[in-house]
Amino acid sequence: MAATRKTRQRSAVERLLNDSTEFLSAQHIHHRLIHEGTSIGLATVYRNLTALADAHLVDVIHNQDGEALYRRCQHQESPHYHLICRSCGMTRDVADEAVETQLERLFAEHGFAEAEHSADLFGLCTSCADSDDS
């Protein structure tokens, strides 16, 4: 894939992601940028998010409706997993060597080379689980 030029719009998308700790949809990013006065089209937001994801500069998860959500990588070690609260959306990044070792064994056992994987794990965070008990 050809390198994407560093445009004013790309800088605006990156700045917004740098300033946020939450996962955001392309539509939400577009809305925020327009609201702050940045002239940018939704297609341009998608194009820049795709380039950032391809460069492994943003994490991409899919919510329970299948919508892609984006966030600047918070956990630079790769690979890592996202533990996501299905109630409030709070996300924790985790890396686990034991899981990686097990997956490598599984890929090799089934004859897979150059295997890649991703996993988003959904549950309830402590706060939401506690509020469900009330």
Q: What is the pLDDT of residues 41-91, one digit of tens each?
A: 999 999 999 999 988 889 888 887 889 999 987 665 567 788 888 888 888
Assess whether pLDDT exceeds 70 at residue 2. no
Q: Is 100 marked as binding a ligand?
A: yes
Topology (CATH) of 76-134? Dna Ligase; domain 1 (3.30.1490)
Q: Is 117 marked as binding a ligand?
A: yes
Q: Is 125 marked as binding a ligand?
A: yes
Do residues 19 and 63 make contact, with C-beta atoms less than 8 angstroms apart? Answer: no
Q: Is 128 marked as binding a ligand?
A: yes
Given this model, what pLDDT does residue 4 score? 56
98 φ, ψ to 5°?
-65, -40
At residue 53's C-alpha, the angle toward residues 118 and 19, to 5°, is 110
User: Across residues 15-41, what is the average pLDDT?
Assistant: 94
Domain-by-domain residue ranges, the chain?
Answer: 1-74, 76-134
Q: Is the backbone of residue 89 left (phi > 0), alpha (psi -120 to 50) or beta?
A: left
Q: Amino acid identity of 121? A: L
**How confident is the model over 102-133, as pLDDT tens digits?**
999 999 999 998 887 777 888 999 999 988 76
- The class (CATH top level) of 1-74 is mainly alpha
Of the CA atoms within 13 Å of residue 15, those in its CB half-sphere come to 12
Given this model, what pLDDT does residue 76 score? 58
Query: Whole-model pTM?
Result: 0.70
Given this model, what pLDDT does residue 100 score? 84
Q: Is 88 marked as binding a ligand?
A: yes
